[in-house]
Chain A
Amino acid sequence: MKTAQEIRAGQVIMIDGSPWKVQKNDFHRAGRGSAVNKMKLKNLLNGVATETAFKSDDKLEQIVLEQKEVTYSYFADPMYVFVDSDYEQIEIEKDDLENVIDFIEDGMEDVCQAVFYNGKVISIDLPKTIVREIAYTEPSARGDTTGKVMKTARLKSGYELKVSEFCDIGDLIEIDTIACEYKARVKR
């Protein structure tokens, strides 16, 4: 058991018989030395997201789920197929890829984590930082080189995000997969 304050984003806790992944855990001081935590949780069985509050010293059951390194192989409608190091195929539905589907591309080489619960794969986690190519963006108009001015760019998957003004079509960019945000342009 861990206290609510000790739980970190990315860990999994059991609530009412279901595993919930902690996506965010905010801590606040209340009055007279007490403290409270607000957690953003995702049910790993059905994908339902919720927010909950705990006293910081509330005890929670943390569980460690089986994980396996996998890489993306191909899409066989309606299943996405990943393979592990033994070339064993792991199939997962689009609904279970909710957080990562925007970054799934043919030919991607990222080493992902397949997460299992009761022997069934329930989610795929991407590395915290991935590199993707910009499929389309408007040309730079203002010559900004600071990186503070942002514009919209589209990835090959169709996902759109804000990137620095100086980025162009064909540039490789680093993406934070937790925040789903652009981090930096990759120097070639």
Chain B
Amino acid sequence: MSHRFTKPFWSVFCSIIDNFGDIGVSWRLSQQLATEHGIAVTLWVDDWQAALRFLDPLLSNEPNPTSQALQLQGVCVRRWPQDGQSCIEAAQAAVIVEMFGCELPEITLRSMAAQQPHPCWVNLEYLSAEDWVAEFHGLPSPQTIQGADQTVTLQKQFFLPGFGKNTGGLLRERTLIARHQTWQNEQNPLRHQLVNAYGLNDEPKLWLSLFCYPGPVLKNLIGALKQDTQPTVCIIPAGGLANQLASQLGRPQEPTPGDCLTLGNIQFLVHPFVSQPDYDRLLSICDINIVRGEDSFVRAQWAGKPMLWHIYPQDDGVHLDKLQAFHSLYAGTAKSGSEAAALACWQELNYRWNCGDGIENLWHDLRPHLPALHSHARNWQQKLAELPDLTSSLVRATGFAT
């Protein structure tokens, strides 16, 4: 695709299916386009209330719930185009990005077809470590658009995130690795702030962050954690997951941010919903990050700390193939025998946990491997950082790179 536009204005379309994964990735991309590439971006979201909840930690003032748009950190966030005028405005962008294959409004499509030149049109797909991703990345996708008086074929391009050089890469801000370095240099004081804030008695020996999907995996994880004999702290976000935890611990009330739930040697700190940079900092100072889906999964890898990944479960079980594809890639880069042994243990635990099995023994076996897993996580972070970041690759692919 070659850039033939004079106004570097992009439209990013995000359909919020559930939770904050879609908007999380869309926001990161939009913000990076704006701040690092100087591109004016409009992020169109279909669930306005969910978008406001997601952006809330970044907002200085309470937004008007009836507003149609807000300007934040260089990005214009707008309600999904409903009327003809906003559909046409959305189509006047030089680049149209549909996040995760979301369906664009019909009027927008027709307006794109009527424009000369046609806008660059990109479908940014879900992340997967499977081999086929590299074969798909960059492929054209001719789309026939039925206009009022003629049919026009627009070329959409598939853009697939991934872990290899023949993929679109991963979202990574320019300063991210340096920020993690800084946070990890200040790890003890940062942890101490949390100890004081929550009024913990003992300095924990092991720090965990926990962000998995609700369901049996949480019960199985708690079953494993409660066996720990040393003081452990587990930071869990307020909301559905913390509610399930409280229920399983026999607490009658739903926990609120600031609450601390204790089970044996573990203290669960119920953390407020935080902004993406604050979540990055949290990942950076924990010993093990338990993450889910796509966005927190990628961020945990940038933190360079051991992690467990709760992949988004799919009814047909295809998620387990995707999980194993990542395991193969991640564990395939072991640099020593001790790392290989640690990763074998980690794979077994992560797989069994995602299958809904109990992991008490595997968790016990994993603990001595934490130093080797940490070393591997740092190496993996460095290896990924050698690849171009997703946003820069996307900008290049659309012809906007200077």
Q: How far is the CB of A14 from chain B (nearest CB, A)?
A: 8
Question: Which residue of chain A lies nearest to B294 when distances are taken between CB atoms in the complex?
Answer: A31
B135 interface hit (Cβ, 8 Å): yes
User: B100 near A34 (CB under 8 angstroms)?
Assistant: yes
Per the 8 Å Cβ criterion, residues 1-55 of A in contact with B are 15-17, 26, 28-34, 36, 38, 50-55
Q: Can you list, as one digit per residue, whether each of B116-147 has a CB less than 8 Å from chain A (1) or not (0)?
A: 00000001011110101001100111111000
Contacts of B128 in A (CB 8 A): 30-31
Contacts of A58 in B (CB 8 A): 141, 143
B153 interface hit (Cβ, 8 Å): yes
Known: A29-B314, A29-B316. 15 other contacts (CB 8 A): A16-B142, A16-B144, A26-B132, A29-B318, A29-B322, A31-B100, A34-B100, A34-B101, A38-B132, A38-B139, A50-B140, A53-B141, A53-B158, A58-B141, A61-B144
Contacts of A51 in B (CB 8 A): 139
6 closest A-B pairs by CB = A31-B126, A16-B153, A53-B139, A53-B158, A29-B318, A30-B126
Which of A15, A30, A50 gathers the greatest number of chain B CB atoms within 10 Å? A30
User: B101 near A55 (CB under 8 angstroms)?
Assistant: yes
User: B100 near A38 (CB under 8 angstroms)?
Assistant: no
A24 to B132 Cα, complex, angstroms: 14
Contacts of A28 in B (CB 8 A): 130, 132, 136
A165 to B143 Cα, complex, angstroms: 48
User: B17 near A32 (CB under 8 angstroms)?
Assistant: yes
A52 to B144 Cα, complex, angstroms: 14
User: B136 near A38 (CB under 8 angstroms)?
Assistant: yes
Cross-chain pairs A/B with CB under 8 angstroms, 22 sampled:
A15-B142, A15-B153, A17-B153, A26-B132, A28-B136, A29-B314, A30-B101, A30-B128, A31-B126, A31-B294, A33-B315, A34-B101, A34-B126, A36-B158, A38-B132, A38-B135, A38-B136, A52-B140, A52-B141, A53-B139, A55-B123, A58-B143
Question: Which residue of chain B lies nearest to A61 when distances are taken between CB atoms in the complex?
Answer: B144
Question: Which residue of chain A lies nearest to B152 when distances are taken between CB atoms in the complex?
Answer: A16
Provide the main secondary structure of the chain A interface: strand
Question: Which residue of chain A lies nearest to B133 when distances are taken between CB atoms in the complex?
Answer: A28
Q: How many residues of B contact A (CB 8 A)?
A: 28
A17 to B153 Cα, complex, angstroms: 9
Question: Which residue of chain A lies nearest to B137 when distances are taken between CB atoms in the complex?
Answer: A53
User: B314 near A36 (CB under 8 angstroms)?
Assistant: no
Question: Which residue of chain A lies nearest to B138 when distances are taken between CB atoms in the complex?
Answer: A53
A30 to B322 Cα, complex, angstroms: 9
A32 to B19 Cα, complex, angstroms: 12
B312 interface hit (Cβ, 8 Å): yes
Question: Which residue of chain A lies nearest to B313 when distances are taken between CB atoms in the complex?
Answer: A32
Contacts of B126 in A (CB 8 A): 30-32, 34
A52 to B123 Cα, complex, angstroms: 13
Q: How far is the CB of A31 from chain B (nearest CB, A)?
A: 3
Size category of the A interface is 20 to 34
Contacts of A31 in B (CB 8 A): 100, 125-128, 294, 312, 322
User: A32 near B314 (CB under 8 angstroms)?
Assistant: yes
Do A30 and B142 contact each other (CB < 8 Å), given the known contacts A16-B153, A53-B136, A55-B101? Answer: no
Contacts of A34 in B (CB 8 A): 100-101, 125-126
Contacts of B132 in A (CB 8 A): 26, 28, 38
Do A32 and B312 contact each other (CB < 8 Å), given the known contacts A16-B144, A26-B132, A58-B143? Answer: yes
Contacts of B314 in A (CB 8 A): 29, 32-33
Contacts of B143 in A (CB 8 A): 58
Question: Which residue of chain B lies nearest to A30 when distances are taken between CB atoms in the complex?
Answer: B126
A28 to B125 Cα, complex, angstroms: 12
Contacts of B316 in A (CB 8 A): 29
Contacts of A53 in B (CB 8 A): 136, 139-141, 158
A113 to B141 Cα, complex, angstroms: 30
A17 to B144 Cα, complex, angstroms: 10
Question: Which residue of chain B lies nearest to A38 when distances are taken between CB atoms in the complex?
Answer: B136
A126 to B107 Cα, complex, angstroms: 45
A28 to B131 Cα, complex, angstroms: 11
User: A32 near B100 (CB under 8 angstroms)?
Assistant: yes
A58 to B153 Cα, complex, angstroms: 14
A28 to B183 Cα, complex, angstroms: 39
Q: Can you list, as one digit per residue, whether each of A57-79 has a CB less than 8 Å from chain B (1) or not (0)?
A: 01001000000000000000000
Q: How far is the CB of B134 from chain A (nearest CB, A)?
A: 11
Choice from A32, A33, A52 contacting B139 with Cβ under 8 Å: A52
A36 to B318 Cα, complex, angstroms: 14
Choice from A16, A17, A30, A33 contacting B125 with Cβ under 8 Å: A30
